[in-house]
Amino acid sequence: MEFSFIGKPAVRLDGKEKVTAAARYVDDLDFGANLLYAAVVESPHAYATIKSIDTSKAEKAPGVVKVITGKDFPYKFGMYMQDRYIFAQEKVRFVGEQVAAVIACDAISAERAAKLVKVNYDVLKPVLKVEEALTIEGCNHSTSEPILIHPELKNYEHVPWFFPRPESNIAHIRKIRTGDMDKGWAEADHIFTDTYTVPRYAHCAIEVHAAVGLYDFSGRLTLWTASQSPHTQRHLFAEALAPLGVAHKDVRVITPFVGGGFGGKAGVSMEILAAALATTVRGNPVKVLWNRAQEFYNTYQRQGVLAQIKVGVKNDGTIIALEQNLYWDAGAYVEYGANVVNAAGLSASGPYRIPNLKIDSYCVYTNLPPGGPYRGFGYSEFLFGLESHFAEIAKKLKIDQIEFRRKNCIIEGDRLAYGGKMNPNGLQEAIERVASEIKWGEEEKTTTKAHAKNIRTGKGISLFWKAPAMPPNASSSAFIKFNEDGSINILVSAMEIGQGFLTVMAQIAAEILSIPIEKIRVETPDTDRNPYEWQTVASHITWGTGSAVLKAAEDMREQIFCLIERALGKERKDLYLKAEGVRSHSDETFHLLYKDFVISGIPMEDGTFRGGPILGRGSFMPEYTSAKSNPETGQGGKPNVHYTVGAAGIVIEVDTDTGKVTIPKVVMAVDAGRVLNPDLVKGQITGGVLQGLATALYEDMRFDDKGRLLNPSFTDYKIPTTLDIPQEIVPVMLEVPGHDGPFGARGIGEHTMIPIAPMLANAIEDALGIRIKSLPLTAEKIALHFQLHSHKLIANDNHSSL
């Protein structure tokens, strides 16, 4: 098939990339002189009972309009589990939880008055680690019974594929059981066990969370939000505020471009405050704006995990059995984070063919801030342990790392953990391409001239996979409308968060309708105008929203052909679209331009017209998926639509004195199904590699023994700079088309950071002979482990000489 706009770089005009995006129409929106500002009163305790709240002084402060507490909004909200209140009621469960809010005429007055609100607490002992929340075999824990953070767990509403354990701190457990574990252990020649840990991480989007709410006198609630989920927010706002008479038809969410998301602006977090507070000051817009510290401690964080892994293998390296217990630190509320735990549990076998599986993925309440979606959605976390463990096994069996993965990697038709079949994929080719690019098996010469005697080189590899983590009924829709000049507007509700989504949607429509991309405008979401989209998460937008746009464009094409056939008598099968119009296979002279009929219609000899405005509509839902399964085995249903797979390799240099890692080269091969825009895929690979290196080498959220975040700023929470990036990043794009995406495309946005941590850990082991089992892999940690390793070797040598 010949493509005009698909599989090619973005259009360039005058040497600059043409941006096919809507104007940021609310960026500088003037909300008027009656704009009010809110400041939130936050809990200083990780776990406490609220004994009383005194707002009297705050109410009398200059500029104050209203003071709100939990008694004004005793309503829960939540996406997958309703376990959280808009404002804390009887208890607070993490440092930073909102207890009250002050609405004032300006931001300074609101902040000053918020300090005058007096809250009397009865402080309780917080639960800050999963080891404290549960009794975990093999971990140190208190002999006393764990403190229940949510005693009323049994009463919480939740989606049917969650399985909470009442009277415990387990909000959900995803189990996988397949094969015969006893037989697997018996057949294994070797059994290897170990434990790996991953800390919490912050999203670090440059734009902080912000929302403005307006409840007007017609009963319309309008929100302007920095969000990945406009329609989901509308739904959750309407559900939470239904007791106030707010219905879905009354809620409008407008979202311009978002200055970074990475999952942190999915679902609903602080935006619910703007919605609720606006209802108390009717006719006045209310702004809620997080500062940088709040962005760290009072939005979703990436959950930490403790992974216990047990693997049985044959002498030739064939994996026979895998048992994995994943204990996720989900924080105080799991209304979104529990789905991360669910998705990870379904896929914790990694991209490997393993006949006997026992996986338990636990969503555990603690008194740290709520965990939630983060780029990779749990896969980065469990893959760190799994790929590190497999590398150790291959080393102990004296089997080449590449050969070990060749032998065990999953292929088309292999059985998945939950019983389905693996989709067509290019994983084996990805392994070969990466091995070739990093010259696997060849000795690497150091590129560092200074102090070369202290420099060790190493290479590492990791496989990866990920499925879109979404409900079985997650859907997308699109409208396309023609204008008088033959240009089109595409209305969709997915979000542009830097991934190039708007450009790709324009490419898909351009391919079907044969319209230059510069004559296509893609609009950012307004839930009153743009049709439904579940959320911009799960790397499913090119696949899901793209399918909706494809169907909308095909709908327009069908309308055009039917109109030409009805008005001009030309056979429909003889028509095709080209060069902004309709042409005929049998009549080369026929060329009817869009601008001449898509709005005005086709004139007839009797003076009448046929046609009218051409409007396309398309919707997409993967009707072949199901979350229905046996809760004890995970078998049955089809929870995942497909997997995107790949492999990554790295070449590093490590200074043995300082532990500093320099990276000459990173290679990533990803099977995108069909590459719709090579430049954007390269950008995703580069961005994913850099974000992955940040979490692997530098980032780490530190809490004290009272649950307070110690590093809520870019001064103390380290992220890399341009001086830390690899010298070379090699993107390798593979194409094994899928059966359901537009032109065979699958998403790749999250996948590109998933393998980075284990790949790097494996390279460090290759260079220095040390296996670090906890993230981040800081220079200090590397240097310390190497020193201990060296002293051990010296001691062993001395003992041998004796």
Q: How many CB atoms sit inside 10 A of residue 163's CB? A: 17
Task: Give dist(CA 374, CA 537) in Å, integer.
Answer: 9
The count of residues in the chain is: 802
- Dihedral angle computed from the Cα positions of residues 344, 345, 349 and 350, in that order, rounded to the nearest 10 degrees: -10
Task: Give dist(CA 105, CA 580) in Å, integer.
Answer: 53
Q: How many CB atoms sit inside 10 A of residue 355's CB? A: 17
Output phi, psi for 725, to 5 deg.
Answer: -80, 155
User: What separation in angstroms does the CA of 55 have from each of 14, 123, 453?
Assistant: 60, 20, 66
Does a cis peptide bond (omega within 30 degrees of 0) precede residue 776?
yes
Looking only at the bridges linking them, the beta strands covering 615-620 and 644-655 are unpaired
Buried b (16+ CB within 10 A) or exposed e, 64-89: bbbbbbbebbebbbbbbbbbbbbbbb
Q: How many CB atoms sit inside 10 A of residue 724's CB? A: 17
Task: Give dist(CA 7, CA 735) in Å, integer.
Answer: 11
Annotation marks residue 750 as catalytic:
yes
Query: What's the first-to-final CA gap in the chain, in angstroms?
Result: 74
Residue from 558, 750, 765, 780 carrying the catalytic annotation: 750
Render 446-471 in DSSP notation, one character per residue: P---TTGGGEEEEEEEEEEEE-----
Answer whether 445's CB lies under 8 Å from 619's CB.
no
Residues in CB range of 531: below 8 A, 6 or more apart: 477, 478, 479, 491, 492, 493, 617, 619
Closest CA to 196 of 390, 395, 461, 389: 389
Task: Give dist(CA 271, CA 411) in Å, integer.
Answer: 43
Task: Give dist(CA 214, CA 35) in Å, integer.
Answer: 9
Per the structure block, which two tokens stand in for 51? Answer: 């004994």
User: What separation in angstroms does the CA of 89 have from each of 50, 83, 247, 365, 472?
Assistant: 8, 12, 24, 18, 33
Answer whether 533's CB lies under 8 Å from 231's CB.
yes
User: Residue 424 has what DSSP assignment?
Assistant: P
Task: Give dist(CA 93, CA 151) in Å, integer.
Answer: 12
Radius of gyration of the chain measured on its C-alpha atoms: 28
The three-state DSSP-derived secondary structure of 62-115 is: CCEEEEEEHHHCCCEECCCECCEECCCCCEECCCCCEEEEEEECCHHHHHHHHC
Residue with the two structure tokens 């609630």: 221
Return the active site residues: 750
